[in-house]
Chain A
Amino acid sequence: MGRRTLVSRAVVPAPGQRRAPPAQAGGLLPWLRRNFFRSPLNALATLLSLAAIAAALPRLARWAVTDAVWSSPDAEACKQAAGACWAVVPEKYRVMLFGTFPYDEQWRGMLAVAVILGLALYCALARPSARAVAASWLAAMAAVFVLMLGGVLGLEPVGTHAWGGLPLTLIMFVGTVAGGVPLGVVLALGRRSSMPAIRAVCVGFIEVVRGLPLVTVLFMASLMLPLFMPEGMSIDKFLRAQIAMTLFFAAYAAEVVRGGLQAIGKGQYEAADTVGLSYRQKMAYVILPQVGRIVLPSMMNEIIRAFKNTTFIGIIGMFDVLRATSTAIQDPVWVRYSIEAYLFIALLYFVMCYGMSRHSARIEDELTVRR
């Protein structure tokens, strides 16, 4: 050692202050260069995109705004116009949003929608405790059912067969998630149970349901289930669809929860054991709260999908928003303007799904900050 000349060197800096990082060039031009013209390929992509937008945007704007007709009770003006016929929305919105619900009672559906969306917004913004959320949803849904079914408080009775449109979609969605998430948790825990019988039942259920298309499950619920029921006994069609949707969602929710459970280390279980918690306490206070944080994004993904999946109930003859809309535009006067009606419904779905997705992203941010 030491015979060779040492090549490696380290230099101790001269004593001095710690400095702020060098400033990045500000202003619009440097920003454009950084984000849109970083390399020749990047610049080419920017220019091509601009060209495509420039080609499409004016025509789209002409169709959707400049040449569009916003109101025309008999669609006469639409026939003359080159643009979109948005008039179909104000003319047909009652059928689109409330389906076959009795016309004079549709304020009840409106109120039900207001209650559900209002509470959803309140929960998303004010963030009450989990207990308060559960209690208020239970109360709100009870109120919604009273409102929709009627028969009490001087409200005219309306059977579930007459429900339709947005109230039906929202009730079906809330019921699916409220029933499906807890059931999914139970299935996921059952799948990891040490008791073989419980494990087999849970695995069997999850795999069978996941192996079937939702349409099949709905058809089975609406057509086959009545065949197995005893004579004279029948379950309401709405309820059958609700159960089918909930079970279908639960199978997917269970797999999401299972993923979360697998991410929790053995040490957390052991620590919970050593501080004396029972199985239930361990799950309720240690494991599931952590699983909830982990699975939040993928669970929200499933929830948004469940919302869009409510459109499938149209196939078994229920009038959700989409089916109600396609019925509304059967009217020969308006049948040519189905695109406009569907675009309106698409906007409705987008606003709600985007709202859910933003909410989920916000919670995620908060949880990462805390870690």
Chain B
Amino acid sequence: METAMQNANPEPIVVLDQVNKWYGDFHVLRDVSLSVGRGEKIVVCGPSGSGKSTSIRCINRLEEHQEGRIVVDGTEVDADVRRIEAVRRKVGMVFQNFNLFPHLTVLDNLTLGPVRAQGVRRDEAQARAIELLKRVRIPEQALKFPGQLSGGQQQRVAIARALMLQPQVMLFDEPTSALDPEMIHEVLDVMTELAQAGMTMICVTHEMSFARKVADLVVFMDAGEIVEAAPPEEFFSAPKSERTRLFLSQVLH
């Protein structure tokens, strides 16, 4: 977990620089600036409506930002469709509600992107899919439909699907918020393993135990701005801002 500290000047793979966004007149993101080094794990937390999901959704252009710059691995994220596609190839995403394709089997959910968008051979994609399903520990579910799986299993399939494109960065948008309590751990375990394997991760989550264990940097957002950012040991033991302290008192029982 100390690698980030030791790495004197890691070149950031994701950069948000003074990003601003409005919904109508409502200022949802205010001067959000965040750099993420290769292999580093960022946990973004904050009360609902604080702009944390919106921030990471801007990184792969599911949302547009109106001001500021976002650069992913040297490619600027703007209105240019080809640059958006290039960025999306490098960025995997896991959603709160899984968003698996319900009409396709687990295997087809995984292979659809590589086969159709990247022209990977079907047998090759299937081999990779089985490999990833083993990694998330559900290879035996490959031929089932998402509706036949539990929430935890679906989310692990979603993680495997995101990994199929061999992304440089993984975005997690509240991956455990829609899960029953007994299933949260199986998903967090997979995420922890992924982190240990060196994946660059930006996770929006309320799982503070996960943040403590995995994060290199914990970012606290409130009302559309970054209020505080610190390594977990510092963040949890000595929060500087009053708003952070209030939030922590609410989520840590």
Which A residues form the contact surface with B (CB < 8 A)?
Answer: 265, 267-268, 270-278, 281, 285-286, 289-290, 293, 370-371
Tell whether, in the assembled complex, residue B117 and residue A275 are in contact, meaning their CB atoms are under 8 Å apart: yes
Per-residue contact bits, chain B 129-161, to A (CB 8 Å; 1 contact, 0 not): 000000000000000010100000000000001
Residues of the B chain whose Cβ atoms lie less than 8 Å from the Cβ of A273:
60, 62, 88
- In the complex, the answer to whether B117 meets A270 with C-beta atoms within 8 Å is no
Contact A276 B147 (CB under 8 A): no
Min CB distance A126 to B, Å, is 22
A-B residue pairs, 8 tightest by C-beta:
A275-B113, A276-B117, A271-B99, A267-B99, A274-B93, A281-B116, A276-B113, A289-B103
Q: Please tell me if the beta carbons of B97 and A276 are within 8 angstroms of each other in the complex.
A: no
Which A residues are CB-close (under 8 A) to B164? 275
How far apart are B3's CB and chain A's nearest CB, in angstroms?
27
On chain A, the residues within 8 Å of B92 by CB distance are 274
Contact pattern, B 91-118, Cβ under 8 Å of A = 1, otherwise 0: 1110101011111000000001100111
A276-B113, A276-B118, A277-B117 in contact; A271/B62 too (CB < 8 A)?
A: no
B165 at the interface (CB under 8 A from A): yes
Q: Contacts A281-B116, A293-B103 given: A275-B161 contact, CB under 8 Å?
A: yes
CA distance A285 to B113 in the complex (A): 10
| Docked-complex contact B95 and A276, CB < 8 angstroms | no
Q: How far is the CB of B84 from chain A (nearest CB, A)?
A: 9
Instruction: Pick the most buried of B102, B103, B118: most chain A CB atoms within 10 A of its CB.
Output: B103
Partner of A370, one of B100, B101, B113, B145: B145
Q: Is B85 an interface residue (CB 8 A)?
A: yes
* 8 Å CB contact of A274 from B100, B102, B103, B162: B162
A-contact bits for B43-66, CB 8 A (1 contact / 0 none): 000000000000000001010000
Please name the residue on chain A nearest to B86 by beta carbon: A276
A369 to chain B, nearest CB (A): 11
Question: Is the pair B101, A281 in contact by a Cβ cutoff of 8 Å?
Answer: no
CB atoms of B95 and A271 under 8 A apart: yes
Q: State which size class the interface on B falls in.
A: 20 to 34
Chain A contact residues: helix, strand, loop or mixed: helix
A371 touches B102 (CB 8 A): yes
Q: Which residues of B contact A289 (CB under 8 A)?
A: 103
CA distance A273 to B161 in the complex (A): 13
User: B89 at interface (Cβ–Cβ under 8 A)?
Assistant: yes
In the complex, the answer to whether A274 meets B88 with C-beta atoms within 8 Å is yes
Given contacts A277-B116, A281-B117, A371-B147, contact A268 B62 (CB under 8 A): no
Q: In this complex, what residue of A is CB-closest to B110?
A: A275
Contacts of B93 in A (CB 8 A): 270, 274
Q: How near does chain B come to A277, taking the closest CB pair, in angstroms?
A: 5
Which of B62, B85, B113 has most chain A Cβ within 10 Å? B113
Q: A104 → chain B, closest Cβ, in Å?
A: 51
Using A281-B116, A281-B117, A370-B145 as known contacts, say yes or no to A276 and B101 having CB atoms under 8 A apart: no
Which residues does chain A contribute within 8 Å of B161, judged by CB atoms?
Answer: 275
Given contacts A277-B116, A371-B102, 17 further A-B contacts (CB under 8 A): A265-B97, A267-B95, A267-B97, A270-B99, A273-B88, A274-B91, A274-B92, A274-B93, A275-B162, A275-B164, A277-B113, A277-B117, A281-B116, A281-B117, A285-B116, A290-B102, A370-B145
> Are B85 and A270 interface neighbours, CB within 8 A?
no
Complex CA gap A281/B101 in Å reads 13
Residues in A neighbouring B113, C-beta threshold 8 A: 275-277
Tell me, rounded to whole Å, the shortest Cβ–Cβ distance linking B231 to chain A.
Answer: 29
The answer to whether B89 touches A276 (Cβ under 8 A) is yes
In the complex, which residues of chain B have a beta carbon less than 8 angstroms from the beta carbon of A271?
A: 95, 99-101
User: What are 25 of the A-B contact pairs (CB < 8 Å)?
Assistant: A265-B99, A267-B95, A267-B97, A268-B99, A270-B93, A271-B100, A273-B60, A273-B62, A274-B62, A274-B88, A274-B92, A274-B162, A275-B113, A275-B117, A275-B161, A275-B164, A275-B165, A277-B112, A277-B113, A277-B117, A281-B116, A281-B117, A289-B103, A290-B101, A290-B103
